Structure 1
């Protein structure tokens, strides 16, 4: 009975729950679901086949929950430093690192489940995909690997994430159709080139590739490439490019509706762009991005309003 129940639950979650969530923009609900149901769904691996493919999505989402809490703690620390409250700032930084350590652990679980289901990425070899969702989950698994390394480094902890995971992910993205997946595979690859010394192939410019990927994502209504572009710009300390990416994202979400099938991916991109914008605003003003002001900055020049001289009309 347990085996049958486990098979049914795994199949239903993969074929219906995951696609349903991907069509939603309620990130908080998706976060709560992944944290609450992951132990239940993973426990069915004790009585039937391990739900490795489903686990990729659950642990990636749960890692995102922990990382979101880490971002809130970071904003608290920045606000405290702005107010010259050293003890409060230090406490918030400690909480941030704890949350990042948890995020890294969850992301790393997603990466290991990815390798268990699809096989460890090997140059020149690609897994067979049963359908589009299988391809997307493969992409999600690659993202989880990079996120695991990034969160581990930021947390200053050590949970055993391989340091060569970036180059491994970059190679594995070649198994995915770049145009089909909104420019995300190339954006992921270009971000690795921009961030890891020696990873960039001769004749390649990661930011040219990121610009192209951004346009593909904007046209498709799935703007996840903007996040990779912003991360690469941050890593290079290119504030002008970082602001440009944030502005482009704000304009794109006003101009093009999200792809209905992948609304959650697009919403995640916006959430992360807002988080990057919030950090900039908090560092410079002591508060987050004002409502309705994504894509603007505290030091933008105010547009001069043309006025008409009415004296001559009287």
Structure 2
């Protein structure tokens, strides 16, 4: 072998190592490029999903009166839509709606467990009653966590409410989501109290919500901002300003909501009356809600909100009926009560069931 051949042969291992190193570098760059490309795809997808959800999904849902479908949608899609916050901007506005709706799902479960517990008490079944009450508190705890997350996302997007400054709203939906976030904060506090658990909801949420409602046009939003504010006044001792009557304000808000076909103020009024132990006022609110449903159809743009109000009024009525009669409000009899004189209450012949 010549000296030239020997030298070439001696360089082969080094050249092989160089080629291996080059291949590794190329592969690394290629894989890194795939990661960048994937990230760009995910980010674009996330931006599209967020934009589509706000511009189309949420308005479409608000025009629907199918609360069960809205509940299922929020619970099923929240993890998917919120996960896009890992690759693009956090969908804080969308989160307010998702967690408010998901919290409502848990609260509905809590109401069902409460009715089961009341029925068990009437049947003198202490064990079943206690079990239902435990499940009720657990459901309220879940609701409080969900509502509180919605409240936190609301504050991240709009800034801390009630600090004397109002956000610049882009459109009506932007304002509505702001209102929804305030409701989520108040619901978080209420659900935490009912759960008897420490979720971490600040105890000054009520006063923050009351101040922040001044950022919204009361007449435009069916009296709901004033109803929220008056509810805080009615429920927190010493919160009512001098010269104000929270229940008078709630009555005004009720009329605005009835005329607009969005009766969410009835819920605030009923809760305030319930908290005060004013049973006659509570009955009047339920009667007025039932009569208004017959007289004024739901606002087409906000059917979901009006349906949600009716669901909560029915839930309050159901609780009253179960406590007194052992069964829920009879079908078609919302606004009537078991002891009303002259009102025919639906009855059932139990002989056919035996």
In the superposition, the TM-score normalised over structure 1's length comes to 0.96
Question: Unpaired runs of 5+ in structure 2?
Answer: 1-40, 345-354
SS of residue paired to 1:9: helix
- The aligned residue for residue 93 of structure 1 is 133
- For the pair 1:277 / 2:317, whether they are aligned, the reply is yes
SS of the equivalent of 1:78 reads helix
Structure 1 CA distance for aligned equivalents of residues 79 and 248 of structure 2: 42
- Structure 1 distance, partners of 2:221, 2:298, is 14
**Alignment partner of 1:158 is 2:171:** no
Query: In 2, Cα distance between the equivalents of 1:218 and 1:111?
Result: 27
CA distance in 2, matches of 1:168, 1:259: 29
Find the residue that maps to 1:201 and give its secondary structure.
coil
Task: Report how far residue 124 of structure 1 moved.
Answer: 2.2
SS at structure 1 position matched to 2:241: coil
Residue 108 (str. 1) matches residue 157 (str. 2): no
Q: Distance in 2 between matches of 1:254 and 1:202?
A: 37
Equivalent in the alignment of 1:167: 207
Q: Matched residues in 2 for 1:201 and 1:112: separation?
A: 28
Aligned residues: 304
Q: Name the structure, 1 or 2, with higher relative contact order (CA <8 Å, separation 6+).
A: 1
- Aligned counterparts, 1:1-314, within 5 A: 1-302=41-342
- Do the aligned residues in 1 keep the contact of 2:162 with 2:209 (CA within 8 Å)? no
Consecutive unaligned residues of structure 1, counting only runs of 5 or more, are 305-314
- Determine the structure 2 residue equivalent to 1:309: none
Please, what TM-score do these two structures have when normalized by structure 2? Answer: 0.85
The Cα offsets for residues 197-219 of structure 1, whole Å up to 9 and x where unpaired, read as 11100000000000000000000
Cα 1:87–1:303, aligned 2, differ >3 Å: closer, same or farther? closer
Instruction: Measure how far apart 1:122 and its partner are.
Output: 3.5
Q: Deviations over 1:78-133 (max 9, x none)?
A: 00000000000000000000000000000000000000000001432100001000
- Deviations 1:204-258 (Å, cap 9, x if unpaired)? 0000000000000000000000000000000100000000000000000010000
Measure the CA separation in 2 of the matches of 1:122 and 1:58: 23
Q: Runs ≥4 in structure 1, deviation > 6 angstroms?
A: none
Displacement, 1:302?
1.5
What is the rounded CA distance, in whole Å, between the counterparts of 2:254 and 2:88 in structure 1? 42
Residues of 2 paired with 1:58 and 1:125: CA distance? 25
